[in-house]
Structures are given as C-alpha cells and as structure tokens.
Amino acid sequence: MVPRPLAVDEAEPPHPSKRSLRGLDWFIFFVADIQTGFGPFIAVYLTSQKWTQVDIGLVLSTGGLIALLGQMPGGALVDAARSERLVAGLALSAIATAALAYAFVPVFPVVLAAAALHAAASCVLGPCIVAMSLGLVGHAGISERLGRNARFAAIGNGMAAAAMGAVGYLWEPRAVFLVTAILLVPTLLALSRIRPAEVDPDRAHGGTVVLKTDHAPADDVRTVIRKRPLLILAGCALLFHLANGSMLPLMGSVVTMRSSQWATVTIAACIVVPQIVVALMSPWVGHYAQIWGRLPFLRIAFGALVFRALLFAVVTDPYLLVAVQILDGITAAGLGVMVPLMIADIMRGTGRFNLAQGIVGTAVGIGASISPTLAGSLSDHFGSSVAFFGLAAVAAVAFTAVWALMPETRASETPAPETRVEVS
Amino acid sequence: MQGRLRTILAITFVALLAIGGPSAQEVPGGQMPVRADQSAVPVAPAVQTPEAPAEPSVTVLGSWQAQGVLGREVRSSAGENMGRIVDVIVDRGGHVHAAIIDFGGFLGVGSRKIAVDWRALRFRPDSAKRDIITLELNRDQVKAAPEYKDKQPVVVLGASGGLQSLPSD
C-alpha cells in the first residue's frame, strides 16, 4: 500500500511555546538594532577617520555588490541547514566581528573585508529569521507572525536610529560600532530562548511532501526559478525598489538645501515616522492578510508609493514632508509583511523557500542599486521635482504590473491547525 | 559607480606606468606626470650605475603647529555644525582654492558636498583654545549651494567679496 503523502506542517500542527515566540520577538528587535548601526552611517564614520571619498566609495560598493550576489547562495545555504538557530548565531557573530573591525582597525584592507563579511552574513541572516518564523508557526500562522516580526523590527530600527545618532553625536562615530558589537550579547540570549526542537527544519524550508521516511529531497532548483508568480513578484519588487530606494536620500538632500535650522531634525523625523507607522500597523496587516487575501495590501502599498513620489515633487513645507512619510510607513508595512508572506505561499511544499527569498532579494538589490544612479542623473540634469516625477512614473509601472499580473497567493482553503489534510 | 571603477583602473594604470617610468633614468623633478611614450620605449639595461640621488631636505613640524585637514569638523563663526572636510581643490600651479565639505544630513542621509573658498576657512584655535576649523559662512548661506561633482566645474562659495575666477589658459 502506498503511504499517503502528508505535507509536514499539517501532519503535526506546530505548537510553539510562548518562550520561543517571545525569544523570536526580541531576537528580531536586537538584530534590527545591530543592522541600523551599519548602513549610510559607515560613510560618516570613515569620513571622520580621514578616508578619501574614493576609498569610502570602494568599501560601500564592495559591500553592496556582495550583498547582491550573496542573496541566492545565502538562501540556498539556509535551505540546506538543519539548524536555523546555529546559522543565525554564526551570522550574528560574523556581523559583530565586522563591527569590531570597523571600530578598532579602520585600515583599508580590514574595512573592506569587514564590509564583505557583514554583507555576506546579512544575506544569510535575513532569510534565516523568516525561516525560523516559518519553522515555529507553520503556514497557517505565518501571516500573523510576519506582521509581528515587522513590528519588532520597526521598533528596533527606530530606537536604534535615535540611540546611535545620539551616541555618535555625544561621543564619536566610532562608539556606534562598539555599541553594535555589544548588542551581540542580548541578541544571542534572545536566540537561546527559542527552543531548537520547535523550529522544524523541513517546515522552515517551506515544507516538503514526506513519505513517512526521512526528509524528501526538495524541488529541483530549475522548477523553482520557473514559478511564474515568483518571477512576477521579483519583477514587481525590483521596480518598487528602483523607485523607492533613493526617494528618502534625495528628499533628505532637498531638505538640507531648503532649510538649515531644522534640517537635521526634519530628516530624523522622516526616518522615524515610517518606523512608527510600521510598528503600529504591521500586526493588523498580518492578521487581515489571512482573511482578506494578500493582493489588497500589495496593491495599496504600491499605490501609496506613487502618491508619495508625486507629493515629494510638489510639497515644500518640512512639516508636510514628515506627514508624507506616513505613506512611506504604509508602504513599508504592506510590503514588509506581504513579500515574505507571498514567497512562503508560493514556495509551500517545495523545500526551497529560502532560495526563493534569495531570488526576490536579488531583484530587490538590483533595483535598489540602480535607483541612486537614476535619481541622481535625473536630479542633476532636470532638478529634483522632475526626478521625483520620474520615480513616480517607475512606481506607476510597478503598480500596473502588480494590478495586472500578480495572482493571489493565499491558499484557497487554509486548513485549521487541527484538521488533517490529504495532499494529492 | 561605473565612473569610480574607471577612475580606479585609470589610477592603477598610471601608477604602474609611474613605476616603470623612473627606471628609464629620467630625474623626475617637475615632470611627475608620466608620459605614455616613456614606458613604450624599452628600458636601457641596468648596466649604467645610477647617480646617487640628492639628499632631500627634512623639516619637522610640531603636531601643535600643523595637522591634516581631511575628516576634520568645520564650524561656523556662530558655532553651528558645518560638516567635515572631505577633499581639497588645488590648481595646476599648486595653489589651494577650495575645500569640499560634507554638509548637512542625519546619519548620512541627505548630506551634500559643497565647495567653499579656502580663504573663508580659519584655522586658529577658538577662544577656548580648541583646535577647530572655522568657516566664515553660516548654514543659511551654504545650504543652497550647488553640489560639488567630480569632473565638473567647481562652484566655490566664498565669504563676500573675495573670489576671483582662475585665468583661462
């Protein structure tokens, strides 16, 4: 008699403990703190260390390139791992090492290696977090969980931006990297609260159909790459980040030009307000995406981006600009939950969930890399208003693509955790 | 990014030429930019004994007397934060014309590079004897200046009534 195949998560519905879930919450919070310490701040720090602009550019470009190229290998690595917690812990240690290298040995070869290490570790850490979430709660609960993840990440980002800004201002830019390295301790503590037995590796990879034996092989990579909804999602994500990537930096530049007194505070507010919106809205988005489907939120997020670009082109008052950033928060809340959620939907049962995250991550990275060049050249030749209109046009194309091409990915019957479902 | 990569490759290429250049027995003197034809000529065999190079003169500057400028903070006369010096603009005669300051922004977002007249900078310690660089412009005057871009004409911002264009030659 041929054993009936059962999808892993429906066979044994996951019951993660409160301790593991809390651990995951705080883990995400601290990782967001750590990652905020890097980013554009590196250029500020290296400038204060008397680096030339060419060398700083090289370091940033190398980091960006590795972050782009490492997305798919990173995802494949997480798919191959049997213990997501171990991989996350190793990636974190690498990032903390990079922070220490920045702080104590700011010479070119070391900083270049540290930037490369940080980029590679981030390529692994990102999918790992979502994989652990999926491993803990399964497909039935992933929507709410991703909403909660986004909340804690936003709180971490916002608080860290304020704290790191203060630390860099009151002490010196180097101190930010020391704080980042010290944050490794609470992060690993939070990671240790997650019970390893509850993070099922097969579930974390998207679940494969098992035949009552050991883990079945995952789907062929070529099959993954040909999944049409995944490619459409990746393409839309690319267009989105092509428009969105340089919107805030360009606006920051314009704010610096227009107002001197409050420029720094305005830009700080423009960074923090979206984080607040994301922290407030994401769990709600995660909850209702399960009920109403994924597409409404995706469409609203892309639409809000178009509005935001148009408003940036015409609004001049600094207070209104901060208000426009609320739209950025709506977009970030929508997309931050929907993208990993839809990838999880599409990759259900394939065992290649993290590779798919890597594929979409690569598309995002390509869009985000081209964005500053596009916005910069438009702004140089035609002024910032035209640049924003150009970005709005790209966002409109993205919106049309989402509206016309993207299918709903929520499973039509989501099995309640207690029911057993036969997978034909 | 493309432009930077090309710049790096070009600099590396010129550096390799410069290494190949002096072995052809030319005393550099004021001829430091290596010409391409020099390296195309095969180097004369090292049978000739090279002349002993003249001893360079040595001067010692106390660290309180002179320091580097890259990465140092600049303040306005009113004490406002004006950013950091990230580059220095020098003409072919060796005269310093401007400093590029990285101005504005928060955590790296929104900062712009502005060229300011070198003569608008003051390097004397302030009343509290701290070693700071003072710029005789305030934030309002600097904020709207066009951004400095490599390989394009440099727009230099000066304190009122001091700037002259370079003679065209």
Write down the pLDDT at residue A199: 81
Residue A16 has pLDDT above 90, yes or no: no
Write down the pLDDT at residue A343: 92
Tell me the chain B residues in contact with residue A257 when contact means C-beta distances shorter than 8 Å. 112, 143-144
What is the pLDDT averaged over residues A417-424? 44
Residue B157 phi, psi dihedral angles, 5° rounding: -95, 130
Contact B113, B147 (CB under 8 A): yes
Quote the percentage of chain A above a pLDDT of 90. Answer: 55
CB contact under 8 A, B109 and A248: yes
Query: Among the ranges A4-8, A68-72, A211-215, which has the highest mean pLDDT value?
Result: A68-72
What is the pLDDT averaged over residues A68-81? 92
For residue B144, give the chain A residue with the closest CA.
A257
Tell me the chain B residues in contact with residue A256 when contact means C-beta distances shorter than 8 Å. 103-105, 110-112, 143
B81 or B169, which is more confident: B81
**Nearest 5°: CA angle at B44, between B39 and B45?**
130
Superfamily of domain A19-196: MFS general substrate transporter like domains (1.20.1250.20)
Mean pLDDT of chain A: 87
DSSP-derived secondary structure letter, B125:
-
Contact A206, A341 (CB under 8 A): no
- H helices of A12-107, in order, are 18-36, 41-48, 53-69, 71-80, 84-104
B120-154 pLDDT, tens digit each? 998 887 777 677 899 988 888 888 888 898 888 88
Q: How many angstroms separate the CA atoms of A259 and A273, rounded?
A: 19
Residue A3 phi, psi dihedral angles, 5° rounding: -65, 140
Residue B14 in contact with partner chain A when CB distance is under 8 A: no
Q: How many angstroms separate the CA atoms of A51 and A59, rounded?
A: 11
Per-window interface: A 178-237 vs B, CB < 8 A: none
What is the maximum alpha-carbon separation in chain A?
A: 78
Of the CA atoms within 13 Å of residue A247, those in its CB half-sphere come to 32
Residue A17 has pLDDT above 90, yes or no: no
The owner of tokens 């600094």 is A318
- List the CATH code of the domain at A220-410: 1.20.1250.20
- List the CATH code of the domain at B73-157: 2.30.30.240
Q: How many angstroms separate the CA atoms of A221 and A401, rounded?
A: 25
Helices (H) and strands (E) in chain B, counts: 3, 7
| CB-nearest partner of A48 from B84, B110, B111 | B84
Residue A316 in contact with partner chain B when CB distance is under 8 A: no
The owner of tokens 């049962």 is A349
A185-219 pLDDT, tens digit each? 999 999 999 888 888 888 888 876 544 445 556 66
Write down the pLDDT at residue A11: 56
What is the pLDDT averaged over residues A291-319? 92
Q: Reduce the DSSP state of residue B99 to 3 states and report it.
A: strand
What is the pLDDT averaged over residues A406-421? 61
Residue A168 in contact with partner chain B when CB distance is under 8 A: yes
Write down the pLDDT at residue A419: 40
What is the pLDDT averaged over residues A393-414? 86
Q: How many angstroms separate the CA atoms of A388 and A311, rounded?
A: 9
What is the pLDDT averaged over residues B4-18? 64
Q: How many angstroms separate the CA atoms of B71 and B84, rounded?
A: 5
Establish whether domains A19-196 and A220-410 are of one fold: yes
**Nearest 5°: CA angle at A345, between A343 and A346?**
65
Contact A201, A135 (CB under 8 A): yes
Residue A37 in contact with partner chain B when CB distance is under 8 A: no
A92-139 pLDDT, tens digit each? 999 999 999 999 999 999 999 999 999 999 999 999 999 999 988 988
Pick from B109, B105, B88, B94: which is nearest to B156 by CA?
Answer: B88
Please state whether A421 falls in left (phi above 0), alpha (psi between -120 and 50) or beta. Answer: beta
Write down the pLDDT at residue B126: 72
Domain(s) of CATH 2.30.30.240: residues in chain B: 73-157
Q: Model-level pTM?
A: 0.80
Q: A196: Cβ–Cβ under 8 A, 6 or more apart, which residues? A: A83, A85
Per-residue CA distances from B137 to A17, B103, B105 (Å): 61, 12, 18
Band (pLDDT 50/70/90 cuts) for residue A140 is confident
The continuous run of DSSP H or E covering B74 comes out as: strand B73-76
Distance of CA A330 to the CA centre of its chain: 15
DSSP-derived secondary structure letter, B96:
E
Residue A200 phi, psi dihedral angles, 5° rounding: -75, 120
Contact A297, A285 (CB under 8 A): yes
Please state the domain extents for chain A.
19-196, 220-410
A208 or B23, which is more confident: A208
Dihedral in degrees, nearest 10, Cα atoms A156, A157, A159, A164: 120
Neighbours of A280 (CB within 10 A): 13
A25-60 pLDDT, tens digit each? 999 999 999 998 887 788 888 988 888 888 998 999
For residue B2, give the chain A residue with the closest CA.
A373
What is the maximum alpha-carbon separation in chain B?
A: 65
Q: How many angstroms separate the CA atoms of A273 and A266, rounded?
A: 10
Q: How many angstroms separate the CA atoms of A172 and A103, rounded?
A: 11
Q: How many angstroms separate the CA atoms of B106 and A75, rounded?
A: 33
